[in-house]
Structure 1
């Protein structure tokens, strides 16, 4: 791939990167203002993305994400080893508790729900499948960052110290770090109403074959249904599920590696 083609790919990605929950529709003029692309360049990219089904538009309106995104999401559900490995575990957790069980993947500075099950009639969730959540709040976030190597963890703490201080993790960077070390020692994280009011989150990390977590498994349950001993019980179960999924992912990876050597 030439340098020119790499640059073009990055520019195409930048167009798709404009879309967010806050901005679901963009006109070409708005895109040009934000991205700084010349009109002929932008329209060439829009034509490519529209032909691929990644963008769509109606006459005299702006552009929105297209049907190819839905098709890719369907294929993701069918092929993601994290989802396939965790599905039965989520079902088991919801059969055992009156809760919502979630699998969440970490990428960049975001955490994304990729699958969930619920045994609650009207489940309350601030972050349904596909909606990114921050890396600084709630049991899910702590179940991931607490297991990072010290240097990488401290970088995240330093960047997000004010947010972490505001939820009571500590009044200094070292105190926050010590709080996260306790999460790592327990093997799971607990948060009380930090993400969704009245809901307790209990989460544990999921690893692939590396030292750092790639995902999290979480149970969210109404605070009125649990006490300290119940939370500890759920925490132990979630921790066990996280380990089981991690082993399944590692086994799948090793199996593929051995297959490629044949």
Structure 2
């Protein structure tokens, strides 16, 4: 018979369900200590990136002294970092593991040469992203050679994340989710104003996603900030699922959004299709 670990079985003080609950097996090699350490990491989410000892202890139904002991160990190993507020956030070791997991899928390895080629053809910055909760996670990035791109760089790099609702890649990925999953994510979002054209109503976002699903591509029309235009196209796997997105981004003073779509869109779509082919995707007219 399966049992539940003491961390998961103990009711949290806040009256809510535990943030992390794993059924433990009657297996002599099973490590409850490791389970608790991973449960602590699982408490940190895009909506709750910074937590104190009391927050974690209440989430997991653990004592504060026990929680503190695990947290100190995770800090020493680089999986958590303590900020000036004496609260904690995920450390760089977690980012390293996440990127290693992404790299193990072969997605970045397959895509990178095509991103380099797209940058050469267009001279604009190109990115590869995947959906991670309500965020888009940047898996790869090839920067523009053009002057002025630094003003919209936003300090982005591989491993960075941005809210999905105000980015071309994020909206494209949201648009290709099953309806129930899409609605769940939208319900969890806070649509704050980021740029002059940010979509700030959930009804408006759902309507935008319907249009994106029909069109097959997405744009960012100064939605993240006033200086940025971007267009995005889907990357599909062998099962025809959208697993990632590729974009081109440019400073709004360099090119109009219409010109990006008309002149650069075909290059972007071609790049996304070639990456998809490397992942095993075949169009209907290519299948026999």
CA distance in 2, matches of 1:186, 1:146: 10
Aligned to 1:103: 128
Matched, 1:87 2:103: no
Q: Deviations over 1:105-147 (max 9, x none)?
A: 1122221111101123453233723232223222112211223
CA distance in 1, matches of 2:163, 2:56: 26
How far does residue 178 in structure 1 lie from its aligned partner after superposition? 5.0
Among 80, 97, 118, the residue aligned to 2:143: 118
Aligned to 2:251: 222
How far does residue 188 in structure 1 lie from its aligned partner after superposition? 1.3
Q: Is the 8 A contact 1:149 1:212 kept in 2?
A: no
Q: Is the 8 A contact 2:99 2:139 kept in 1?
A: no
How far does residue 84 in structure 1 lie from its aligned partner after superposition? 0.6
CA distance in 2, matches of 1:171, 1:27: 32
CA distance in 1, matches of 2:177, 2:81: 40
CA distance in 2, matches of 1:62, 1:23: 12
Q: Deviations over 1:75-127 (max 9, x none)?
A: 45753411111101111121122321001111222211111011234532337
Q: Structure 2 vs 1, CA of residues 20 and 208 (structure 1 numbering), >3 Å: closer, same or farther?
A: same
Matched, 1:234 2:277: no
Among 215, 239, 251, the residue aligned to 1:186: 215
Q: Which runs of 5+ in 1 are unaligned?
A: 252-262
Among 269, 273, 287, the residue aligned to 1:243: 273
The residue correspondences of 1:133-212 to structure 2 (distance < 5 A) are 133-153=162-182, 156=185, 167=197, 173=203, 177-212=206-241
Q: Deviations over 1:27-65 (max 9, x none)?
A: 6567547765313421442365356542467xxx77665
CA distance in 2, matches of 1:198, 1:73: 30
Q: Which one has the bigger helix percentage?
A: 1
CA distance in 1, matches of 2:176, 2:206: 11
Q: Secondary structure at the match of 1:202?
A: strand
Q: Deviations over 1:201-241 (max 9, x none)?
A: 10012222345422211110122222324422322222222
CA distance in 1, matches of 2:96, 2:191: 40
Q: Structure 2 vs 1, CA of residues 65 and 182 (structure 1 numbering), >3 Å: closer, same or farther?
A: closer
Q: Is the 8 A contact 1:216 1:242 kept in 2?
A: yes
Higher deviation after alignment, 101-110 or 241-250: 241-250
Q: What TM-score, normalized by structure 2, do the two folds share?
A: 0.66
